[in-house]
Structure 1
Amino acid sequence: MLNIGCHLSISKGFYKAVKEALSIDANTFQFFTRNPRGGKAKALDLEDIKKAKELMEINNFAPILAHAPYTMNLCSAKPDIRKFAKNMLKDDLERLKHIPNSLYNFHPGSHTGQGIEKATEQIINALNEAIQEDTDTWILLESMSGKGTEVGRSLEELIQIIEGVQYEKLGVCLDSCHLYSSGYDLVNDLDGVIEEIDGIIGLERIKAFHLNDTKHGLGSNKDRHELIGEGLIGLEAIVNIITHPKLSNLPFILETPNEVKGHGEEIKLLKETLGI
């Protein structure tokens, strides 16, 4: 079974988002926890979430992915931005206690000139402070392309954070565009990349996968997503990823430059290619 979906808005509620996912033959989706360019979060409608949960269960949904806002930078050089980010992180983790079958994904951040060592320490400290005894959500660091001062451009940077946090449910959300752009050759050496991921991170910590083609080449460190099959990764390599026995059970989330209808066409393309 292919667990696949795309990014959907929850502005009109979770139940509507689940219905929208079903309309494009998806069985998972990703949503922003709050305004992606700000810090405001809409109040949760617990009755709506209950209806959404029932519909997801009926339709055998894979875990859904809650994406932190882009403004959440736990390793900024500016203390006020770090404080703002940590408060968002705490609030998001509290809110996710009410959202069933959800994973929490965030960009590790940009060190803004401090250097990777200082940034890693700040991210670890923020996570250790924000995670409470009753936190039970898998928290995922996203693999990044490595543009600018991004943290998380390599598996080694990600595992350094994971090993410093006193919480068992800390994992990784891989991104095909980001991995390829940061130098991991998913096209010509997928097995080798997976072996490297397993050796450094451990496949048991890989909980989700952003499925994107890319506009830029291997090792470019540029983050420009492309439609499935129209970029430099290509349809064949994308299909190899989603059918690989060590990855195939993951929820795959499309973040390609498309609208919901277009994502539906991409899902149709992949399922037709797979004969399902």
Structure 2
Amino acid sequence: MFYIGSHISSAKGYEAMGKQALKLGAGTFAFFTRNPRGGSAKAIDPADVERFQGIARENEFGKIVAHAPYTLNACSDKADTRRFAGETFRDDLKRMEYTPGNYYNFHPGSHVGQGAEEGIRLISEMLNASLSRDMTTTVLLETMAGKGSEVGRSFEELKEILDRTELSEKLGVCLDTCHVWDAGYDIVGDLDGILTEFDKVIGLNRLKAIHLNDSLNDRGSHKDRHARIGEGHIGWEAFTRIINHPALRDLPFILETPNDDAGWTDEIARLRAARI
């Protein structure tokens, strides 16, 4: 199966998200658990979730990939911000259990001058206070572009977070194509080499999802500016290799390209046509 989709608004609930995914031609989707730039979260209706689960089963959806709010920064230099991050993170994990067995993706955070090592310690501290043995959700660390003081700009930084987390079996990685390109990884000219490096440092068994985005910038720019598929510096041919690569092809692919519904429908159709 080719599990590809885009971000969908969660404002109208789970059933509406499932129906919207079908309209786009998607077999998975991503959604923000709450206001992406705030703290409010809509109450979950179990009946709405049950209707969505029926849609997902009937249409053989892949795992859905929830996204934490952008305001969540577990390694801030401000105690209040770290406290908000922990409380939001734990609440989101409880909410994820309404749709068990799926993915919850988050940006590791920005150390804002404290240094990557301290940032990694604080992120791991939050994870150790939040993960539980009975949770069914897999939490995904997202690869970052290295903009400013972002943590997660290298496979080694993500590996250190994994190693410091006690229940690390509950963790995986979401690879963002724009981010790793902007971080300096040559997924255009040496995709096999980059995946071999990922496997050596982290392990391909940890790779659970792909954010499929082109980049407006040259490799190594550390800027994180997404482009539509085939309209940036990564390019269409590289994306056809990515979606068909044996190590990646069965993962959920999530489009975060600057598009509207018509644009995502077109991208999903073109990528499906390129699937071998």
* TM-score band, normalised by shorter chain: over 0.9
The equivalent residue for 1:22 is: 22
Alignment of 1:260 with 2:261, yes or no, is yes
- Cα distance in structure 2, aligned partners of 1:2 and 1:93: 27
Q: Matched residue of 2:31: which SS?
A: strand
CA shift digits 1:138-167 (9 cap, x unpaired): 000000000000000000000000011011
- The within-5 A match list for 1:125-136 is 125-136=125-136
The equivalent residue for 1:213 is: 214
The equivalent residue for 2:58 is: 58
- Cα distance in structure 2, aligned partners of 1:194 and 1:114: 30
Does the CA contact (< 8 Å) of 1:8 and 1:260 recur in 2?
no
- Cα distance in structure 2, aligned partners of 1:48 and 1:2: 26
The equivalent residue for 1:120 is: 120
The equivalent residue for 1:88 is: 88
- The within-5 A match list for 1:41-52 is 41-52=41-52
Q: Which runs of 4+ in 1 moved over 4 A?
A: none
Q: Report the alpha carbon displacement of residue 265 of structure 1 after superposing the two structures with TM.
A: 0.5
Q: Report the alpha carbon displacement of residue 195 of structure 1 after superposing the two structures with TM.
A: 0.3
Q: Report the alpha carbon displacement of residue 169 of structure 1 after superposing the two structures with TM.
A: 1.7
The equivalent residue for 2:147 is: 147
Unaligned runs of at least 5 residues, structure 1: none
CA shift digits 1:167-212 (9 cap, x unpaired): 1121100000001000110100000001001111101110000000
Percent identity reads 52
Does the CA contact (< 8 Å) of 1:6 and 1:260 recur in 2?
no
- Cα distance in structure 1, aligned partners of 2:101 and 2:31: 13
- Cα distance in structure 2, aligned partners of 1:135 and 1:272: 37
Q: Report the alpha carbon displacement of residue 25 of structure 1 after superposing the two structures with TM.
A: 1.0
- Cα distance in structure 2, aligned partners of 1:154 and 1:132: 27
Unaligned runs of at least 5 residues, structure 2: none
Letter in 2 for 1:158: L
The TM-score normalised by the length of structure 1 is 0.98
How many residues are matched? 275
- The within-5 A match list for 1:196-211 is 196-211=197-212
- The within-5 A match list for 1:177-192 is 177-192=178-193
- Cα distance in structure 2, aligned partners of 1:185 and 1:136: 34
- Cα distance in structure 2, aligned partners of 1:259 and 1:102: 25
Does the CA contact (< 8 Å) of 1:105 and 1:141 recur in 2?
yes
- Cα distance in structure 2, aligned partners of 1:262 and 1:11: 20
The TM-score normalised by the length of structure 2 is 0.98
| Root-mean-square deviation (Å) | 0.9
Q: Matched residue of 2:274: which SS?
A: helix
- Cα distance in structure 1, aligned partners of 2:203 and 2:263: 34
- Cα distance in structure 2, aligned partners of 1:64 and 1:260: 18
Larger mean Cα displacement after TM superposition, 132-141 or 228-237: 132-141
- Cα distance in structure 2, aligned partners of 1:214 and 1:155: 19
Does the CA contact (< 8 Å) of 2:243 and 2:275 recur in 1?
no
- Cα distance in structure 2, aligned partners of 1:205 and 1:49: 28
Q: Matched residue of 1:274: which SS?
A: coil
- Cα distance in structure 1, aligned partners of 2:171 and 2:272: 31
